[in-house]
A and B are shown apart, each in its own frame.
Chain A
Amino acid sequence: MRNLNGKKKKYEKQLRKEEALQKKKQKKAKRRKNREYTIVSYFFVLIFVSLIGYMAYFNIWERDAITSSPYNSRQNQAEDRIVRGSILSSDGQALAYTQVDDQGNETRIYPYGNMFAHVVGYEANGRNGLESLANSSLMSTHHEYVDRLKNEILELKNPGDNVVTTLNTRLQEVAYNALGGYNGAVVVMDPKTGAVLASVSKPDFDPNTVEANWDSLVNDSTNSSLLNRATQGAYPPGSIFKIVTALTYLREHGTLDDFSYNCTGSITQEGHTIPCIYGEVHGQVDFTTAFAESCNTAFVQMGLDLGADAIQETAEDLLFNQELPISLDYRKSTIDLKESEGIPFLMQSSIGQGTTLVSPMHMAMIVSAIANGGELMEPYYIDHVENDAGDVVKTTSPSTYKELMSESEAETLKNLMAEVVNSGTGTQLSGESYSAAGKTGSAEYEGSDGSIQTHSWFVGFSNVEDPDLVVAVIAEGAGTGSKVALPIAHEIFNAYYYG
Chain B
Amino acid sequence: MLNIIVEISKYLILIIMLLYTLESFWVFRYEEDYDQRYVLRNQLLLIIFLDFTAFLVIFLQTEELKVLYIFGTLILYLVIVQALYRVFYKTSSILLLNHMCMLLSVGFIMLARLDPDSGLRQMAIAVAATVLAMVIPVMIRKMYFLKKLTWLYAVVGFLMLLVVLVVGSNVNGAKININIGSFTFQPSEFVKIIFVFFVASRLYKKSATFRDHVITTAVAAAYVLVLVLSRDLGSAVVFFITYVVMLYVATKKPVYLLAGLGSGCGAAVIAYFLFSHVRQRVVAWSDPFSVWETSGYQILQGLFAIGAGGWFGVGLCKGSPELIPFVQQDYMFAAICEELGSLFAICMILVCMSMFLLVVNISLRIKKRFYKLIALGLGTEYAFQVFLTIGGVSKFIPMTGITLPLVSYGGSSVLATIIMLAIIQGLYILREDEDEEFERQKEKI
Contacts and interface: CB of A to CB of B under 8 A. Distances in A.
Interface of A: 34-37, 39-41, 44-45, 47-48, 50-52, 54-56, 58-59, 62-63, 66-67, 69, 71-74, 77, 149, 152-153, 155
B363 interface: yes
Contacts of A48: 349-350, 352-353, 356, 383, 386-387
Given A37-B363, A39-B248, 12 more contacts: A39-B257, A40-B249, A40-B376, A44-B387, A52-B346, A54-B394, A55-B346, A58-B306, A58-B394, A73-B304, A77-B320, A152-B3
Contacts of A66: 303-304, 307
B440 interface: no
Contacts of A51: 349, 387, 390-391, 394, 396
Nearest to A136: B307
B92 interface: no
Question: When A and B form their complex, which 9 residue pairs have the shortest distance between CB atoms, in order from nearest?
Answer: A67-B307, A48-B353, A36-B249, A66-B307, A54-B396, A72-B304, A63-B307, A44-B383, A74-B308
Nearest to A63: B307
Interface string B243-279: 0010011001010010000000000000000000000
Interface residues of B, number: 46
A63 B304 CA distance: 8
28 contacts: A39-B248, A40-B245, A41-B357, A44-B380, A48-B353, A48-B386, A48-B387, A52-B346, A54-B391, A54-B394, A54-B396, A55-B349, A56-B346, A58-B307, A58-B342, A58-B394, A59-B310, A59-B342, A62-B307, A63-B306, A66-B303, A67-B308, A69-B300, A69-B304, A71-B292, A72-B307, A73-B304, A152-B4
Nearest to B353: A48
Contacts of B357: 41, 45
B310 A63 contact: yes
A40 B248 contact: yes
A67 B308 CA distance: 7
Contacts of B360: 37, 40-41, 44
B249 A37 contact: yes
Given A37-B249, A41-B360, A58-B306, A153 B380 contact: no
Which of A37, A47, A50, A51 is packed against the most chain B CB atoms within 10 Å?
A51
Contacts of A54: 391, 394, 396
Contacts of B306: 58, 63
Contacts of B292: 71
A34 B4 contact: no
Given A48-B353, A52-B349, A155 B342 contact: no
A74 B245 contact: no
Contacts of B384: 44
Contacts of B7: 152
Interface of B: 1, 3-4, 7, 245, 248-249, 252, 254, 257, 289, 292, 300, 303-308, 310-311, 319-320, 323, 342, 345-346, 349-350, 352-353, 356-357, 360, 363-364, 376, 380, 383-384, 386-387, 390-391, 394, 396
A66 B289 CA distance: 10
A118 B323 CA distance: 31
Contacts, number: 104
Which of B308, B350, B356, B376 is packed against the most chain A CB atoms within 10 Å?
B308
B350 A155 contact: no
Contact of B323 (A37, A67, A73, A153): A73
A155 B3 CA distance: 8
B308 A45 contact: no
A40 B380 contact: yes
A37 to B, nearest CB: 5
A57 to B, nearest CB: 9
Contacts of A36: 248-249, 252
Contacts of A44: 353, 356, 360, 380, 383-384, 387
B311 to A, nearest CB: 6
A449 to B, nearest CB: 39
Nearest to A66: B307
A67 B383 contact: no
Contacts of A77: 320
Which of A41, A54, A74 is packed against the most chain B CB atoms within 10 Å?
A74
Contacts of B248: 36, 39-40
Given A73-B323, A74-B308, A55 B345 contact: yes
A48 B352 CA distance: 9
Nearest to A47: B387
Nearest to B372: A37
A49 to B, nearest CB: 8
B342 A153 contact: no
A46 to B, nearest CB: 10
Contacts of B311: 59
A53 to B, nearest CB: 9
A57 B289 CA distance: 20
B364 A34 contact: yes
Contacts of A55: 342, 345-346, 349, 394
B307 A71 contact: no
Contacts of B380: 40, 44
Contact of B300 (A59, A62, A71, A152): A71
Contacts of A45: 353, 357
B149 to A, nearest CB: 26
B355 to A, nearest CB: 11
